[in-house]
Amino acid sequence: MSVEARAITKTAVRRAWRHMPVAGRADGVYIWDTDGKRYLDAAAGSSNLVTIGHGVKSVRDAMYAQMEMFSYAAPHAFASEPLLRLGDVVATKAHESLGGDWRSWFTCTGTDAVDSAVRLARQYHVARGDRSKTLVISRWQGFHGNNLAVAGIHGSTFRRRTFMGMNINSPHVPPAYCYRCPFEMRYPSCGLKCARALETEIRQQGEENVAAFIAEPIVGSALGGVPAPDGYFQTIREICDRYGVLMIVDEVMTAFGRLGRWFGIEHWGVTPDVVATAKGMTSGYATLAATIAREELWSTIEATGTPFLSGHTMDLNPVACAATLEVIRVLEDQDLLRKADETGAYLGSRLKELEDIDIVDDVRGMGMMWGFELVRDKETREPFDPGLHASYRVEAEAMRRGLILYSCTGSVDGVAGDMVMVTPPLVITRKQVDDVVALTRESLEAVRDELA
């Protein structure tokens, strides 16, 4: 039995129906499987994870140095030097980027970071005596994580429907999605109705019942790289302030350099109350996430003598903290935020050339986070039948050609709508960008012919 067959047979994998090559080694923007085939990683791992590239030995060395001292210290009993240093570093970055005073809770995954952000919002309101504030409003076609509680908050239909009835179903508003505007209006004459819908929902739910609003600066897997239009988050901030609602931004995909800034929300010039992040902060070298919140939230809870009611056994892990500190150092030393801006703009301009393919429309994004739609008819924007799995076909064709892309579905109504994301590590060169675009074109043309 081959290595691949053993992996599929005895280990549960996400897509058991497909061939799953076994990774052998990786370096920079490339991964080689155990048969020696090379893949150009234009998905940055699992969608926006890898920032500084694969195989950076200084991260390995930082983790090993910490492991030589100790690998684990019970978080209910000990802090660690890497943890304390990381808290200071993240607080400094947040202050420089967003203003104000910040403190971080470090946990394991992006889902955990969002879950902790929601817990923090609830405890803050309870500490202030606003015990009726329990609701978190989110957006349809948004994704915030994979546990049952968060599944009730996010708006990804495919991930919600199997577990519906097992979670608390939160209220939702339409997304900021100009290509398929849910109000059938045009920006900017729309007056940002998608943002103003939040005020309507708060009033309908009762402002005394709404604790927080959560959204991604650029919607990742649920919309395929859609940024909110200018003015959107400024309007959201004003509405949240007006009704005493905390503004949570989900930067699991966008923070720590992906959009050419430490935090993606900087592009909109507003300061949230809470930031949930993960992926890029460790670049995939360890499991760590952060819930970063204004100091007022933490101190208000602490004044009641109540601990923060969140956490797991592996939270605050010293080895993961050591890895993250080194990733941040590499981001700074190699000036990768600037590179994400400049090379990312080049990537976007090259991807826009793909719109000459008759199934490709609306290339969108910023920094090193881009996506596009697959449509049957550009004039009407008619999607492909979901049963055709158009975006997955593109991903599979790209894999055959040695390119890793990230396929997404559900942009139209949570069911129909195919998207593809292109989100390489920030270290990618222009020559490698050209390779990504060339292989993507080949893959798209093959799928176009197949679907025709």
For residue range 79-138, what is the model confidence (pLDDT) as tens digits?
A: 999 999 999 999 999 999 999 999 999 999 999 999 999 999 999 999 999 999 999 999
More confident call, 20 vs 91:
91
CATH code 3.90.1150.10 for 3-52+335-451: yes
Q: Measured at the alpha carbon of residue 217, what is the angle toward residues 242 and 287, in degrees to the nearest 5? A: 115
Burial class (CB in 10 A: 0-12, 13-18, 19+), 307: exposed
Note the pTM of the prediction, 2 decimals.
0.95
Average pLDDT over residues 395-423: 96
CB-CB contact of 159 with 142 (8 Å): no
For residue range 256-276, what is the model confidence (pLDDT) as tens digits?
A: 999 999 999 999 999 999 999
Closest by CA position to 48, among listed 251, 222, 254, 224: 254
Closest by CA position to 194, among listed 170, 210, 213: 213
Neighbours of 93 (CB within 10 A): 18
What pLDDT band is residue 414 in, cutting at 50, 70 and 90? confident
Q: What is the CA radius of gyration of the chain?
A: 22
Q: What single-letter amino acid sits at 329?
A: R
| Residue 39 pLDDT | 98
Token output for 194: 């998608």
For residue range 372-404, what is the model confidence (pLDDT) as tens digits?
A: 999 999 999 999 999 999 999 999 999 999 999
CATH 3.90.1150.10 domain locations along the chain: 3-52+335-451
Residue with tokens 């970055």: 93
Domain 62-333 adopts which CATH fold? Aspartate Aminotransferase; domain 2 (3.40.640)
Three-class SS string for 2-24?
CHHHHHHHHCCCCCCCCCCCCEE
Measured CA to CA, the distance from residue 114 to residue 105 in angstroms comes to 11
Q: Which of 13-22, 185-194, 335-344, 426-435 has the lowest mean pLDDT?
A: 13-22
Burial class (CB in 10 A: 0-12, 13-18, 19+), 275: buried
| Residue 231 pLDDT | 98
For residue range 308-323, what is the model confidence (pLDDT) as tens digits?
A: 999 889 999 999 999 9
Q: Which of 45-49, 58-62, 431-435 has the lowest mean pLDDT?
A: 45-49
Average pLDDT over residues 126-152: 92
Given a cut of 80, whether residue 17 has pLDDT beyond it is: no
Percent over 70 (pLDDT), the chain: 97
